[in-house]
Amino acid sequence: MEKGLTMSCVLVVVAFLAMVHVSVSVPFVVFPEIGTQCSDAPNANFTQLLSNLSSSPGFCIEIGEGNPIGASWLIPLTQQAEVACDKVTQMEELSQGYNIVGRAQGSLVARGLIEFCEGGPPVHNYISLAGPHAGTADLLRCNTSGLICDIANGIGKENPYSDFVQDNLAPSGYFKNPKNVTGYLKDCQYLPKLNNERPYERNTTYKDRFASLQNLVFVLFENDTVIVPKESSWFGFYPDGDLTHVLPVQETKLYIEDWIGLKALVVAGKVQFVNVTGDHLIMADEDLVKYVVPLLQDQQSAAPRLNRKTKEPLHP
């Protein structure tokens, strides 16, 4: 009698648990912008603020060991994405999946991680703040002395698609000259691959990985003068041969022909294109709360519960 009662209680508990969705705390990672490191107050405070607001554990990930600021300038983005893949794969906290917040160049490192990383933990939501997704038509200005600025301001602008510059100046990997698209497609090492722009080597795996994301937010900063044009944060860019007019994302070939799955995500209602006032990466707390925090908060498990025999979804 007692044994039967105990078994009945167990069955009731199991049935109850099968009827409820499990709330999970999904961690997130932040990839900082070029020329910064995770210990800098803006990045440390930003990660902590998002963690406080979302009640989700947050981690800042930088690429270079010992000199992350120099590494962000000098290590080519293909290699930065590989390092990012290794780091997130080794983090036990991320093994069940995580969300990403990318800041400017960090957004491109993050997208390389999403598209290129083999065997890494799943990425659920992706938030890009001022990411130059369609490229930048102006190499980032460098105002200090030393090798980095010599490359950026000198050789980089004279011959940005040379092997030397591509191998030693990270921003050259997403520099897109509308008046030299042939050179860009041929010799730029990172962005043409990331955006599946080369018709002779489009990779459906990259597209499938990007299109598998659950939610995406692309934030454009209205007064941004660092990303040229600022609409690149929404995948908008200059037409070939033109440095005056900007094509909105919906009029670009990347979107129309859906090279990376962006159009499919938009049609599915998974993408927000957000415009905020402010200069490059200067985002008001109320905008963070409105557009960023909801994608980082605890959420119900997205995986449907299936009948073990029929494989059909179970309903409460």
Every domain of the chain and the residues it spans = 28-137+205-296
Token pair belonging to 52: 């406080």
- 150-179 confidence digits (pLDDT tens): 666 665 567 899 999 999 999 999 999 999
What value does the mean pLDDT of the chain take?
A: 86
Q: Kindly report, residue by residue over 171-228, the tens digit of the pLDDT.
A: 999 999 999 999 999 999 999 999 999 999 999 999 999 999 999 999 999 999 999 9
Cα pseudo-dihedral 287, 292, 296, 302, rounded to 10 = 120
Written out in words, the top-level CATH class of the domain with range 28-137+205-296 is: alpha beta
- Per-residue model confidence (pLDDT) at position 126: 98
- How much is the pLDDT for 158? 72
* Distances in whole angstroms, Cα of residue 24 to Cα of each of 55, 61, 294, 297: 11, 22, 14, 9
Q: How confident is the model at residue 5 (pLDDT cuts 50, 70, 90)?
A: very low
- Comparing 50 with 309, which gets the higher pLDDT? 50
* Strands across the sheet containing 98-103: 58-60, 28-31, 98-103, 123-129, 215-221, 271-276
The mean pLDDT of 260-286, rounded to a whole number, is 96
Task: Report whether pLDDT(58) > 90.
Answer: yes
> Which has more confidence, 67 or 23?
67
Q: Is the pLDDT of residue 20 over 50?
A: no
What pLDDT digit, counting tens, does each position of 108-150 carry?
999 999 999 999 999 999 999 999 999 999 876 665 556 666 6
| CA gap 132, 56 in Å, rounded | 27
Question: Is the preceding peptide bond at 229 cis, omega within 30 degrees of 0?
Answer: yes
Confidence bin at 289 (pLDDT 50/70/90): very high
The mean pLDDT value for 83-94 works out to: 97
- Region 223-246: what's the mean pLDDT? 95
User: What would the mean pLDDT of 74-84 be, rounded to a whole number?
Assistant: 96
pLDDT value for 153: 61
Closest CA to 104 of 253, 284, 254, 224: 224
Contact predicate 81/109, CB 8 Å: yes
Least confidently predicted of 28-32, 62-66, 221-225: 62-66
* From 239-248, 251-260, 304-313, the region with the lowest mean pLDDT: 304-313
